[in-house]
Structures are given as C-alpha cells and as structure tokens.
Amino acid sequence: MELPPIVQSFVLHFGEMGSRWGINRTVGQIYALLYVSSEPLCADQIVEKLGISRSNVSMSLRELQGWNLVVLKHLPDDRRDFFTTPDDIWQILRTLAEERKKREIDPTMTVLREILMQSPTGEAERYAQDRMADMYGLIEQLTNWYDDVKQLETDRLATLLALGAKVTRLLETKDRIVSFGRGRHSGKKDGESA
Amino acid sequence: MELPPIVQSFVLHFGEMGSRWGINRTVGQIYALLYVSSEPLCADQIVEKLGISRSNVSMSLRELQGWNLVVLKHLPDDRRDFFTTPDDIWQILRTLAEERKKREIDPTMTVLREILMQSPTGEAERYAQDRMADMYGLIEQLTNWYDDVKQLETDRLATLLALGAKVTRLLETKDRIVSFGRGRHSGKKDGESA
DNA sequence: TCGAAGTTTCAGTAATTTCTGAAATTTCAA
DNA sequence: TTGAAATTTCAGAAATTACTGAAACTTCGA
C-alpha cells in the first residue's frame, strides 16, 4: 500500500470498521480512499494504491454502486470508469441513512407485518404478538419521523440539529401563546431552564 | 427448535438479520426469543428451545450482557440465572443507540481527531485532511444532537418524533413573533403550508 | 471439606465470508 | 470483422468467524 501516512491511517481504519458497519474490509478501504481523493480514481489506480486484486476491486466497486455511495466520472477519450464520492457530505449522510434503512429495517418490518396478520393460537403467541406489535409501532414512529425530516433542505436540517432538545422549550412557548390566545392555560408544568 | 410458528419466524428472522446488525446469528436468535417470552428464561431453556449448544448460549448471553440488552433475574431458592429484555421498548431503543454509537462511531471520531492533529506534508494530504474535517464536523453535529435529545423523557421524545419536520414551521412562527416583537421582519420567505 | 448444580473457557472443527487468478465477456476503434 | 483494452465472472484458496464438546471453574449447601 503506497499512500501518505495520514491517508493510510484513515483507509486502514475504514477497513477495520467495515465489519461493524455491515460492509467488508475492501469495500471500506476503497470508500475511504475515494472519499479523501481530490480526483476520481479508476480501478487500476485503486489496485495499485491498496495492493489488492483487480477482481476484488471490481466486485467492491460494484457493491459501493449498489449502495449509491460512489459517482462515476468519465474523461474525454478514455474508456475507463473513474469513481468518486459526492462532494456534499450531507448528501452522503442521506444516502447512507436511506440504504441502511432499506437493508436493516425494511425487511424486519415486512416480517413483522406478516406475523401480525396471523391469529395467535395460544397464550404464549398472544404475548409474543403483543411485543412484536410494540416493536412495530416504535419503528413506525421512528421511520415516519425520518421520512418527514429527510425532505428538509440541508440548512433547515442543520438548524433542527443545532436546536436539539431545545425544541421542547419552543413547544412550551407555543403552548403558552396558543392557550393564552384561547384564554386558558395548558396543564403542563414548565420548570426547565437552559 | 421447538417453538410456536409465530415465534419461530421471528426468531429465525432475527438470526438472519444478525449479520447486518453487527451481531451473529445465535445472539440475534436468543435476543428475539427473550424479547417475545413473557417469563425470563435460563440458559438450558434457551438451549432446548433453539437447539444450540450450551456453550454457545453461554457466550451469546455474555455478549448480550456486554450490549446491556438483557436483564438478569433470580427466582427464590434457584441458583440459575434467568434472562429477559427490559419491558420498556423505548429503553431498549436508548440502549441500542448508545451501544451502536460506542461501537460504530466513537472509534472513528478518535481516529479522526488523531489524524487532524497532524500537519499535512503535501497537497494531497491537505485535501484529505479537509475532507476528514468535514466528516468530523458532521458527525459532531449529529452526536451533539443525539446527546441532547437522549436526555428527554420518553413522552417528550415521542412528541418530538410526532412533530417531525413540522418543527421548522414552528421555528418560522417563532421567528415572526420574535422579529415582530423587535419591530422588524425576518428576511425569510414563508410560503410553505401543511 | 466434599460434591452437586450451574457456568465459563477454550482448543479444535465447521461454516461462512472474502479474496484471487484465470477465463469469459464487453466495448469500441480500425 | 478483428483484436486490443477494459471489465466482470466464478471456482477454488485463504482468511475469518461461529460453534461445539470436554474440561475447568465457581458457588453453595450439607
């Protein structure tokens, strides 16, 4: 592997973390390399920089394309494919969230839906189904929130993030204003500060 | 495996999904089984229900304890450990978020911090470091938000979720009120509706 | 202290996943 | 068409991860 030390640490780390993130070492390394490269790279350049086989690079790039995490570029008068990652890191985040949801959550929701359609035959099944319904409900709340928030433009999303838990204070303010306008007070207590 | 069909589908699904979720098949199956069981189970009961070796159960339970995903219970006059999952599914969600952050994000932030402390020696390194700084900054925003909202009580968190992107409309309302109070108008356009 | 019940450890094996090199396929200019 | 460049496929090898059974350990009552 022939890389500047800074880049090398980053690439090796992504390789090691790969398994925790649901991708394999090579895929992680290639992604890291593309992410920190200012110019798009072709497969043979990746082979050279990472010291892995051509076929492994080919398969890993295919997998990254499956995740929509890489962008193809072409140079004039050059048949080779060149690869980069999107410049906009928020876009990368959105893609990652979408793809992980697709792989890690959607299949479970499908299975839960199927199971919840069946009628339980005994007490144990009834209890199990109730628990699964709880799980289904919670995930549904989370994914509804996600579907809602993912539509936001980046700067609004950033505002929302920066606000964090303070939003609840805002909510209380609104409650007060609204109930004042309606001539009555909400029952909520209101003691929190900074 | 001797289980009601509904429970069996659920358990097998969790086993299959395990690899995508960063746990192995057995760990996934055991967790699923405990989650849908109304009573705590001891290791031998798990062996029997899932048809796997005693030692595998022991190691997998240990791993689940490492994730803080199981609760130990004891019966009077019985030395055996019995295991369950917490009843409160929001608590499970919090634990899961915390542990995944610890395993999937924190190590990367440590590596990024270390790399960003070094001085780049050339143009390529400089570019790479800038990209890493972008990544660091984004993850920092996300984790700050997370640290903030994880403090919320469950019902407030649920309110926040239900609100979703509508929060931005609330923000605009507040902007209007505040700027009205200060005797001037914000520059933001305001055309969005339901 | 003994021994029975329960649990964990660990070396070896099984299963799975990743990676490679060689062969096959695609693409495109001449 | 032909063939050179680029890419993909895939069977098997290599590496990694998961699982088991046997032995070791722990706990606690008698």
Is there a single domain that holds both residue A100 and residue A56? no
Residue with tokens 């928020």: A90
Task: Please give the nucleotide, over all strands, whose C1' is closest to the CA of residue A24.
Answer: C18
Tell me if A124 and B38 make a contact (CB, 8 A cut-off).
yes
Q: Based on the domain organization, do B21 and B63 belong to the same domain?
A: yes
The mean pLDDT value of chain A amounts to 89
Closest residue to D19 by CA to C1' distance? B56
B126 within some domain: yes
Based on the fold, state whether residues B93 and B177 are members of the same structural domain.
Answer: yes
Q: How far does the CA of residue A78 sit from the closest CA of chain B (Å)?
A: 24
Residue B190 has pLDDT above 70, yes or no: no
Last residue of a domain, one of B66, B84, B102: B84
Residue for token digits 């839960």? Answer: A112
pLDDT band at B181 (very low <50, low <70, confident <90, very high): low
Locus of tokens 């995903």: B69
Say whether both A103 and A62 belong to one domain: no
Q: Which domain holds residue B103?
A: 89-181
Protein CB footprint (7 Å) on chain C nucleotides: 5-10, 17-22, 27-28
- Cβ contact, residue pair B158, A174, below 8 Å: no
Give me the CATH number covering residue B47.
Answer: 1.10.10.10
Predicted TM-score (pTM) of this structure: 0.88
The answer to whether position A173 is within a domain reads: yes
In the three-class reduction of DSSP (H, G, I as helix; E, B as strand; rest coil), residue A158 is classed as: helix
Residue B18: inside a domain: yes
Does A191 map to a domain? Answer: no
| CA–CA distance, B28 with B16 (Å, rounded to integer) | 8
pLDDT in tens, A115-159: 999 999 999 999 999 999 999 999 999 999 999 999 999 999 999
Query: CA-to-C1' distance for A79 and D1, Å?
Result: 21
Give percent of chain B above pLDDT 90.
Answer: 77
Q: Same domain, yes or no, for A93 and A79?
A: no
Which parts of chain B are beta strand (E)? 41-42, 71-73, 82-84
Q: Which of B84, B108, B124 is the last residue of a domain?
A: B84
Examine residue B117 and state whether it is found in any structural domain, yes or no.
Answer: yes
Rounded, the Å distance between the CA of A1 and C1' of D17 is: 26
- Which residues make Cβ contacts (< 8 Å) with residue B6, sequence separation at least 6? A115, A118, A120, A125, A128, A129
A102 and A71 within one domain: no
Whether residue A33 lies inside any domain: the answer is yes
Residues B57 and B78 in one domain: yes
Q: Are B126 and B42 in a shared domain?
A: no
How far, in Å, are A26, A31, A32, A61, A138 from residue A18 at the CA level?
8, 10, 10, 15, 28
How far does the CA of A55 sit from the C1' of D9, in Å? 9
Q: Is residue B65 part of a domain?
A: yes
Residues A15 and A93 in one domain: no
- Pick from A3, A6, A126 the residue to mutate for testing the B interface (most B CBs within 10 Å): A6
* Residue range B94-139, pLDDT digits in tens: 999 999 999 999 999 999 999 999 999 999 999 999 999 999 999 9
Place of tokens 């892995």: A52
Give a yes or no: residue B170 inside a domain.
yes
Q: Is B62's CB less than 7 Å from nucleic acid strand C?
A: yes
CA distance B184 to A192: 29
Distance B24 CA to D17 C1' (A): 9
Instruction: Name the domain count of chain A.
Output: 2
Which of A84, A119, A136 finishes a domain?
Answer: A84
Same domain, A48 and A62: yes
Are B44 and B78 found together in one domain?
Answer: yes
- Please give the nucleotide, over all strands, whose C1' is closest to the CA of residue B42: C6
Residue A100 shares a structural domain with residue A172: yes
Q: Does residue A12 lie within 7 Å of nucleic acid chain C, judged by its CB?
A: no
**For the segment A43-70, what is each residue's pLDDT rounded down to a tens digit?**
999 999 999 999 999 999 999 999 999 9
Strand D within 7 A of A70 CB: no
